[in-house]
């Protein structure tokens, strides 16, 4: 099936119009991946009008654990410094695009009479580094032949002429599309792969997706424009469905994208049935994984907020699984699909202990390498339960409190953790959680890390709304369990 690579340039355009970090390009990349996008595209221009050098590196770091699952495509002209940037990042693909001074967006493909010396050295250097090279061309036989002579692995067909023809009606669309069919057929016969992009959208994609030999489409402007009104995750799903001929089904689906593990059930200490979602560590080697003689993975237990459920963690379980960790997210008693009473907060401490015991007893896991992550009520429960679970070598608290509806914690409890690692996060606008975090961090029996968010949010909402908090947590888990 034709792959979708989402161009996130427009997210950076909006951010740069105001300055600062909002909207976050990294958060946009995560939303696309969570919705199933198999590719991300950026075009860092010389004037940094949207994607910056820092963005290119940041996205590369974000996608590194997903290598082989999500492709990274960097577009650009062979200007001084561009080749160095691409070689430093080593994306899956580099698409070389001609740039005219003053252009707002790409206006044409490489002319067939482009001097070979302009690109041959660049193409060779990229391919020697293991980077697939695509050349942006018009759907003309001479341009396809030229791309083949340059040694390109693929061509990206410039589709704005098709998009304009599609707007004029079926006859114009059909005549234009015929040129692309001929170009794709020629490329295929020459052994050159076929990508396409520029002004493709949900309407004209209904025809263009039928192009023979089409490997990938890169779509940004139309996708991001629609996302402003209905949400990025939903729109990515719409485009994936359009490519898979399932558009109607996705238009009817309005639910949020959630991580997909394996449902499990376990018993709490008093027999209450607890539901959970189990994510076994990715089988492929993780770039972060320790070089241990055993293949067993560390474990992470996720404990949600009051009145929430195991789905509250969004894409975090999948991200941790892809990094080489085995994860269990539970529904506390009386929440989600678990039995029992949601009012019995003291009994929830044994829910967490039982879940920890179940998790570290799974095959192929490191029983002595457990991290417990809790949010709000879950933070209190994580702390109380971990004090009785010596295998919990790392504890993370999102929006902690000294007292939660009768459940009390204090600095003496932190001291009982001894040398175990503790990570905490609170919003600067959440004074109770902030004060608790400061008090806990002052206890120095072991490593204590604190993260203050400038975003007004509480518990797991900090992870949703503040990319820095999410990155800090993931980085801490990597250091605590994988290094």
Chain segment 306-315, per-residue pLDDT in tens:
988 998 898 8
At residue 100, the pLDDT reads 63
Task: Please say if the pLDDT value at position 154 is more than 80.
Answer: yes
At residue 254, the pLDDT reads 36
pLDDT band of 243, cuts 50, 70, 90 = confident
At residue 456, the pLDDT reads 86
Range with the lowest mean pLDDT among 244-258, 378-392, 423-437? Answer: 244-258
pLDDT band of 376, cuts 50, 70, 90 = very high
Strands (E) across 174-226 are located at 193-197, 214-219
pLDDT band of 69, cuts 50, 70, 90 = confident
Q: Which residue has the higher pLDDT, 254 or 444?
A: 444
Angle at 167 between CA 163 and CA 169, to 5 degrees: 120
Q: Please list the residues that pair with 28 across neighbouring strands.
A: none
CA atoms of 227 and 225, how far apart (whole Å)? 5
Task: Please say if the pLDDT value at position 250 is more than 50.
Answer: no
Task: Please say if the pLDDT value at position 291 is more than 80.
Answer: no
In the structure encoding, which two tokens stand for residue 300, read together?
A: 């992470």
CA atoms of 180 and 160, how far apart (whole Å)? 12
At residue 118, the pLDDT reads 82
The DSSP result for 307-342, as a single string, is: T--GGGGTTHHHHHHHHT-EEEEEPPTTSTT--S-T
At residue 245, the pLDDT reads 57
Task: Please say if the pLDDT value at position 388 is more than 70.
Answer: yes
At residue 171, the pLDDT reads 86
At residue 286, the pLDDT reads 42
Which of 105-114, 139-148, 241-250: highest mean pLDDT? 139-148
| Residue-wise burial string across 382-408, b where 16 or more C-beta atoms lie within 10 A, e elsewhere | bbbbbbebebbbbbbbbbbbbebeebe
Continuous segment of H or E residues that includes residue 403: strand 403-404
Q: Where are the domains of the chain?
A: 3-252, 262-482
| Residue-wise burial string across 428-467, b where 16 or more C-beta atoms lie within 10 A, e elsewhere | eebeebbebbeebeebeeeebbbbebebebbbbbbbbbbb
Residue 23 has phi, psi (to 5 degrees) of -75, 150
Strands (E) across 241-312 are located at 262-267, 273-279, 297-303
Average pLDDT of the residues in 468-481? 93
CA atoms of 48 and 44, how far apart (whole Å)? 6
Task: Please say if the pLDDT value at position 326 is more than 90.
Answer: yes
Region of 198 on the Ramachandran plot (φ > 0 left; ψ -120 to 50 alpha; else beta): left
CA atoms of 39 and 216, how far apart (whole Å)? 9
pLDDT band of 244, cuts 50, 70, 90 = confident
At residue 106, the pLDDT reads 61
CA atoms of 208 and 197, how far apart (whole Å)? 10
Task: Please say if the pLDDT value at position 405 is more than 50.
Answer: yes
CA atoms of 18 and 338, how far apart (whole Å)? 46
Task: Please say if the pLDDT value at position 386 is more than 50.
Answer: yes
At residue 307, the pLDDT reads 87
At residue 399, the pLDDT reads 96
| Residue-wise burial string across 320-329, b where 16 or more C-beta atoms lie within 10 A, e elsewhere | bbbbbbbbbb
Pick the CATH number of 262-482 from 1.10.260.40, 3.40.30.10, 3.40.50.1820, 2.40.30.10: 3.40.50.1820
At residue 103, the pLDDT reads 57
Residues ≥6 apart with Cβ < 8 Å to 34: 233, 257, 259, 314, 315, 318
Average pLDDT of the residues in 285-297? 52
Beta-sheet pairing, 273-279 with 262-267? antiparallel
Strand order in the sheet with 448-453: 262-267, 273-279, 326-330, 297-303, 365-375, 392-398, 421-427, 448-453
Task: Please say if the pLDDT value at position 197 is more than 50.
Answer: yes
Task: Please say if the pLDDT value at position 168 is more than 90.
Answer: no
At residue 88, the pLDDT reads 93
User: How many helices (H) does the chain have, and how many strands (E)?
Assistant: 19, 18
Token pair 């678990």 is at which residue? 338
CA R_g for the chain: 25
Average pLDDT of the residues in 30-56? 88
pLDDT band of 476, cuts 50, 70, 90 = very high
Which residues have a catalytic role annotated? Answer: 43, 75, 198
Residue 84 to residues 26, 76, 77, 122, 125, Cα–Cα distance (Å): 22, 12, 12, 10, 10
pLDDT, mean over the chain:
88
Share of the chain above pLDDT 70, in %: 92
CA atoms of 238 and 259, how far apart (whole Å)? 18
Average pLDDT of the residues in 99-120? 75
Share of the chain above pLDDT 90, in %: 60
Domain 3-252 has CATH 3.20.20.70: yes
Q: How many Cβ atoms from other residues are within 10 Å of residue 245's Cβ?
A: 12
Residue 348 to residues 272, 290, 310, 425, Cα–Cα distance (Å): 10, 33, 14, 22
Average pLDDT of the residues in 206-216? 91
At residue 110, the pLDDT reads 85
Residues ≥6 apart with Cβ < 8 Å to 416: 387
């Amino acid at each position: 099936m034709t792959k979708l690579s989402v161009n996130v340039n427009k997210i950076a355009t909006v951010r740069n119009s105001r300055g600062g970090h909002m909207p976050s390009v990294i958060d946009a990349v995560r939303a696309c991946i969570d919705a199933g996008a198999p590719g991300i595209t950026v075009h860092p221009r010389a004037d940094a009008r949207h994607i910056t050098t820092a963005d290119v590196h940041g996205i590369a770091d974000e996608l590194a654990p997903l290598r082989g699952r999500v492709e990274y495509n960097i577009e650009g002209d062979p200007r001084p410094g561009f080749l160095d940037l691409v070689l430093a990042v080593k994306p899956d693909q580099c698409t070389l695009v001609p740039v005219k001074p003053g252009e707002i967006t790409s206006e044409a493909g490489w002319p067939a009479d482009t001097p070979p010396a302009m690109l041959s050295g660049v193409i060779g250097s990229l391919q020697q580094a293991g980077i697939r090279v695509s050349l942006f061309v018009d759907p003309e036989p001479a341009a396809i032949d030229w791309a083949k002579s340059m040694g390109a692995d693929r061509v990206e067909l410039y589709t704005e002429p098709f998009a304009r023809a599609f707007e004029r009606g079926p006859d114009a669309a059909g005549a234009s599309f015929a040129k692309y069919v001929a170009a794709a057929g020629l490329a295929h016969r020459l052994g050159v792969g076929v990508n396409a992009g520029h002004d493709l959208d949900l309407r004209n994609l209904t025809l263009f997706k039928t192009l023979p030999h089409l490997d990938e489409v890169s779509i940004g402007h139309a996708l991001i424009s629609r996302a402003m009104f209905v949400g990025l995750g939903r729109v990515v799903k719409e485009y994936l469905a359009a490519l898979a001929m399932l558009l109607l089904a996705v238009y009817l689906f309005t639910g949020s994208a959630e991580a997909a593990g394996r449902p499990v059930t376990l018993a709490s200490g008093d027999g209450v049935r607890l539901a959970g979602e189990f994510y076994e560590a990715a089988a492929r080697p993780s770039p972060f994984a320790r070089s241990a003689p055993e293949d067993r993975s560390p474990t992470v237990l996720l404990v949600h907020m009051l009145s929430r459920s195991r789905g509250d963690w969004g894409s975090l379980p999948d991200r941790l699984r892809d990094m080489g960790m085995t994860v269990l997210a539970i529904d506390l008693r009386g929440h989600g699909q678990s039995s029992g009473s949601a009012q019995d907060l003291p009994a929830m401490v044994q829910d967490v202990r039982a879940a920890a015991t179940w998790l570290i007893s799974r095959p192929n896991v490191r029983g002595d390498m457990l991290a417990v992550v809790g949010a709000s009520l879950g933070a209190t429960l994580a702390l109380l339960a971990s004090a009785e679970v010596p295998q919990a070598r790392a504890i993370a608290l999102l929006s902690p409190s000294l007292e939660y509806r009768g459940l009390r914690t204090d600095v003496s409890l932190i001291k009982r953790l001894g040398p175990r690692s503790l990570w905490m996060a609170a919003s600067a606008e959440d004074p109770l959680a902030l004060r608790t975090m400061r008090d806990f961090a002052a206890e120095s029996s072991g490593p204590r890390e604190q993260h203050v968010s400038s975003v007004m949010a509480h518990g797991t909402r900090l992870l949703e709304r503040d990319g820095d908090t999410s990155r800090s947590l993931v980085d801490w888990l990597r250091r605590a369990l994988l290094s």
